[in-house]
Amino acid sequence: MRKLSVLGALLLTACVTINIYFPAAAAEKAADEIIKDIQSITPPKQELKPKAGLTNWEIAAYKLLDSAINVVVSPAQADGADLSIDSPQIRQLRATMATRFATLQNFYAAGLIGIQADGFLAVRDAASVPLKDRNQLNTLIAAENADRQNLYQAIANANGHPDWATQIKSTFAASWVSNAQAGWWYQSSGTWKQK
């Protein structure tokens, strides 16, 4: 009897265990969306071509076929992994970063700053930055990097997994580079490369 109750307890705890995995694909999608929003990059809209209309009997045949398939195989309601990117803190950080981007864009274009492998910004060559701009640039980079770190933590917190911040940061690091405009600099394998 004792063995049976121990076995029952083990089975019960095995049924309660839930593994929650980091939604990498959703994080990539969220990173791209946020970065494009911050940089005001909107993808070109594709024009939809009108489809030829179906006749009434074709529509009826498709509906009948769909009903028959649903009787044999129940429709699956699969939820794709999703990552929440909407909270007051996230909205505030995005707005601040979008405003700052207008100034940073000039420094990107001049090749004075680049995206490090960890996704944070850095001055590529301090000697090439005009003396009058050094203080402003260092302040901008420090503020941007702080906001990026806060954004990653805010996204992790908004999804109830503060421990995901490191994985979100890694996902964003790759997305900052992939969303960089032509001519911008980024770090790869310890060296600066131009996109």
| Cβ-contact 85, 33 below 8 angstroms | yes
pTM here?
A: 0.70
Burial class (CB in 10 A: 0-12, 13-18, 19+), 126: exposed
pLDDT at 161 (0 to 100): 93
pLDDT at 125 (0 to 100): 86
Q: Of the spans 44-53, 56-65, 182-191, which averages the highest pLDDT?
A: 182-191
| Confidence category of residue 77, pLDDT binned at 50, 70, 90 | very low
Q: Is residue 133 part of a domain?
A: yes
Q: Which of 34-38, 75-79, 179-183 has the lowest mean pLDDT?
A: 75-79
pLDDT in tens, 154-169: 999 999 999 999 999 9
How far apart are alpha carbons 91 and 37 in whole angstroms? 11
Q: Is residue 52 part of a domain?
A: no
pLDDT at 97 over 90: yes
| Confidence category of residue 42, pLDDT binned at 50, 70, 90 | very low
| Confidence category of residue 135, pLDDT binned at 50, 70, 90 | very high
- Three-state SS for 5-70 is HHHHHHHHHHHHCCCCCCCHHHHHHHHHHHHHHHCCCCCCCCCCCCCCCCCHHHHHHHHHHHHHHH
Q: Is residue 78 part of a domain?
A: no
Q: Is residue 49 part of a domain?
A: no
Q: Is residue 137 part of a domain?
A: yes
Q: Is residue 173 part of a domain?
A: yes
Q: Is residue 44 part of a domain?
A: no
**Count of domains for the chain:** 1
83, 137, 149, 85: which is closest to 110 by C-alpha? 137
The percent of residues in the chain predicted with pLDDT above 90, rounded, is 61
pLDDT at 57 (0 to 100): 63
Strand partners, 191: 188
pLDDT in tens, 105-131: 999 999 999 999 999 999 998 999 999
Q: Give the residue numbers spanning the domain of 100.
A: 23-39+84-194
Instruction: Check residues 2 and 31 and name the one with the higher pLDDT.
Output: 31
pLDDT at 68 (0 to 100): 53
